[in-house]
């Protein structure tokens, strides 16, 4: 429950993404941005998820499909290389897995409680095309 | 893009719709998103004509419904522009969902409402059903009695609504046809003087301020919603009236035309008073004068500001009146009537309050005649003489069939 009274916030159904002025936001990585507490970036929605994606970098070709298709900007890419998943905001929709073009896929869905190391160790192998 | 100024005569013959359109032009609005509906259509038609003839620089967006019209206005206001539109009746009803969005988001938008009855049965003529529908929407509501008022109150509306201490949208009401389509002499302001009065638009929390990104229209649940509504109500109750009064004062200095939060006519020594709105105020004033010739001390009180409701101002205006009639031009549909209820509330804890009776009149464009008002004043005098209300508290006037009265 919030603690601020009716006279202790700005008017309107309006929230600020950043505290104070921002500059060159497009040139600043997310982790370096001073998001305000009211920005949705500051809130975790990890508990909405019942299945999670696991990323296997051994098969990834950095095509960026998952980065483009993720509806919640939860694929973290730097210098056009896929480096991981923002697990605070990923809701487990599995679109990244669906669009991943590698064989085997570089992203697969597992139950939320699955151990990432265990799943990576028994990752599927390349599927042979049936003739 | 440059636009032309318009040369106006000191007095122009305008109906209420064209007067409102001219005021909108002079305020140099950034965005008008509009959908036509009788009897407000000529406002946006006139405005569109001025736009087509290069008298207007702002955007004019034709949309597919009144819901979309107000939604477009909300988006433009959140982006950081001066915004206005116009509507009536069914269009107003369709806008209602977005009216609450506009006020809750604290966006200054001016809405000209040309009052018209609400269906069913379908009716294009004037009554106050749409005005009453908007009274809990969190908007400021100003009421014009004639085309001159419709012109002047638009400037007041922008000035108050856009004030950073207010930031609440504002409706300017005028009676369908009786004001909107009746041409009268309207004293004008020059383009420069009019624009000088409302001033350049000063954005606040605008989405086009890229250095301070904002999200408008957020969701709150049980832990925040009440505080937001309380804040809005507080600002309506405490911040609007002083700004309206200041705007009226400034406008009087500029134009010589004086407006008051509650308008009182012949009320200094009045025994009997009629409280009403819109064009009925002018009819009642005429009849009050005639009643005085017959020895009945009659007066008239008109609401200029409907929301926020002038609780203390109306109590002050009615001080000393021994019998008071409230005239509601909207079917209360199972209640005594808005003016009756509000004024009863305003008077209840005052000393020597007058005897109060309510009247429902003029639905769907039915005329309020001088004869009706003579009857009302005569009844009020009878109440004064008897020292009590001698009739039921609610009476319908001007309706065919057996006398309709309740309570």
Asked if A1 lies within 8 A of B223 by C-beta distance, the reply is yes
What is the pLDDT, as a whole number, of residue A38?
Answer: 86
Per-residue pLDDT tens over the stretch A73-95: 999 999 999 999 999 999 999 99
Cβ pair B32, B44 in contact under 8 A:
yes
What is the pLDDT, as a whole number, of residue B1?
Answer: 61
ipTM of the complex: 0.86
Whether B321 and chain A come into contact, CB under 8 Å, resolves to no
Asked if B105 lies within 8 A of A14 by C-beta distance, the reply is yes
CATH number of B262-406: 3.40.50.920
- Any bridge partners for residue B13, and if so which? B185
Q: Which of B91, B251, B281, B66 is nearest to B179 (CA)?
A: B281
Strand order in the sheet with B355-361: B262-265, B298-303, B272-276, B323-328, B355-361, B394-397, B405-406
CATH number of B11-255: 3.40.50.970
Cβ pair B287, B298 in contact under 8 A:
yes
Question: Maximum distance among all alpha carbons in chain B?
Answer: 70
Q: What architecture is the A45-112 domain classified under in CATH?
A: 2-Layer Sandwich (3.30)
User: How far apart are alpha carbons B309 and B316 in whole angstroms?
Assistant: 13
B-interface mutation test, from A1, A10, A14, A41, most B Cβ less than 10 A away = A14
DSSP type of residue B274: E
Cis (ω within 30 of 0) for the bond into A104? yes
Per-residue pLDDT tens over the stretch B287-336: 999 999 999 999 999 999 999 999 999 999 999 999 999 999 999 999 99
CATH 3.30.70.20 positions along chain A are 45-112
Q: Where are the beta strands (DSSP E) in B224-307?
A: 262-265, 272-276, 298-303, 305-307
**Position A128 confidence tier, pLDDT thresholds 50, 70, 90:** confident
Asked if A11 lies within 8 A of B213 by C-beta distance, the reply is no
Phi-psi bin for B218: left (phi > 0), alpha (psi -120 to 50), beta? beta
Q: Do the first three CATH levels of B11-255 and B262-406 match, i.e. the same topology?
A: yes
What is the pLDDT, as a whole number, of residue B121?
Answer: 97
Whether B213 and chain A come into contact, CB under 8 Å, resolves to yes
Q: What is the mean pLDDT of residues A115-130?
A: 91
A-interface mutation test, from B102, B231, B237, most A Cβ less than 10 A away = B231
Evaluated on CA atoms B143, B147, B151, B152, the torsion sign reads negative
> Could you state, in order of their start, the residue ranges of all structural domains in chain B?
11-255, 262-406
User: CA angle, corner B384, sides to B383 and B386, nearest 5?
Assistant: 65
State the angle between helix axes of B225-238 and B240-255 in degrees (0 to 180), rounded to the nearest 10.
40
CB atoms within 10 A of CB B295: 8
Q: What is the mean pLDDT of residues B66-88?
A: 98
Q: How far is B207 from chain A (nearest CA, A)?
A: 10
């Amino acid at each position: 429950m919030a603690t601020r009274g009716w006279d202790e916030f700005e008017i309107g159904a309006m929230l600020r993404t950043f505290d104070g002025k921002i500059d060159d936001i497009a040139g600043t990585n997310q982790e370096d941005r001073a998001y305000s507490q009211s920005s949705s970036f500051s809130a975790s929605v990890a508990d909405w998820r019942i299945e999670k994606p696991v990323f296997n970098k051994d098969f990834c070709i950095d095509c960026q499909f998952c980065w483009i298709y993720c509806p919640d900007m939860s694929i973290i890419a730097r210098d056009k290389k896929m480096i991981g998943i923002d697990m605070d905001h990923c809701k487990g929709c599995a679109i990244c897995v669906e669009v991943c073009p590698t064989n085997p896929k570089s992203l697969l869905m597992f139950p939320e409680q699955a151990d990432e190391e265990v799943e990576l160790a028994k990752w599927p192998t390349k599927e042979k095309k049936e003739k | 893009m440059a636009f032309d100024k318009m040369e106006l005569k000191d007095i122009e013959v305008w109906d209420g719709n064209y007067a409102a359109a001219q005021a909108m032009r002079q305020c140099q609005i950034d965005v008008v998103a509009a959908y036509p509906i009788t009897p407000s259509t000529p406002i946006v038609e006139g405005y569109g004509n001025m736009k087509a003839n290069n008298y207007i620089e702002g955007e004019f967006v034709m949309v597919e419904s009144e819901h979309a019209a107000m939604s477009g206005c909300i988006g433009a206001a959140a982006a950081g522009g001066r915004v206005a539109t116009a509507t009536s009746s069914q269009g107003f009803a369709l806008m209602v969902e977005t009216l609450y969005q506009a006020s809750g988001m604290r966006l200054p938008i001016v809405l000209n409402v040309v009052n018209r009855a609400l269906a069913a049965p379908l009716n294009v003529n004037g009554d106050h059903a749409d005005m009453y529908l908007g009274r809990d929407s969190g908007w400021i509501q100003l009421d014009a009695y004639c085309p001159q008022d419709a012109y002047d109150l638009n400037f007041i509306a922008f000035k108050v609504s856009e004030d950073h201490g207010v930031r609440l949208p504002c409706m300017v009401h005028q009676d369908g046809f009786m004001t909107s389509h009746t041409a009268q002499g309207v004293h004008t302001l020059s383009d420069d003087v009019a624009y000088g009065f409302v001033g350049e638009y000063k954005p606040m929390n605008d989405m086009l301020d890229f250095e301070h990104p904002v999200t408008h229209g957020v969701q709150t649940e049980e832990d925040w919603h009440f505080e937001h509504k309380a804040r809005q109500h507080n600002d309506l109750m405490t911040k609007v009236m002083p700004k309206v009064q200041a705007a009226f004062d400034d406008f009087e200095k500029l134009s010589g035309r004086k407006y008051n939060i509650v308008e009182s006519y012949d009320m200094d020594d009045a025994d009997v008073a009629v409280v009403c709105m819109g064009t009925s105020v002018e009819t009642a004033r005429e009849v009050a004068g005639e009643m005085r010739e017959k020895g009945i001390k009659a007066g008239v009180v008109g609401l200029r500001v409907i929301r926020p409701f002038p609780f203390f101002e109306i109590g002050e205006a009615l001080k000393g009146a021994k019998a008071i009639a409230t005239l509601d031009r909207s079917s209360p549909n199972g209640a005594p009537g808005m003016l009756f209820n509000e004024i009863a509330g305003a008077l209840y804890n005052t000393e020597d309050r007058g005897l109060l009776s309510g009247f429902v009149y003029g639905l769907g464009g039915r005329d309020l005649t001088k004869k009706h008002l003579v009857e009302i004043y005569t009844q009020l005098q009878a109440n004064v003489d008897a020292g009590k209300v001698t009739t039921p508290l609610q009476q319908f006037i001007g309706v065919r069939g057996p006398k309709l009265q309740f309570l």
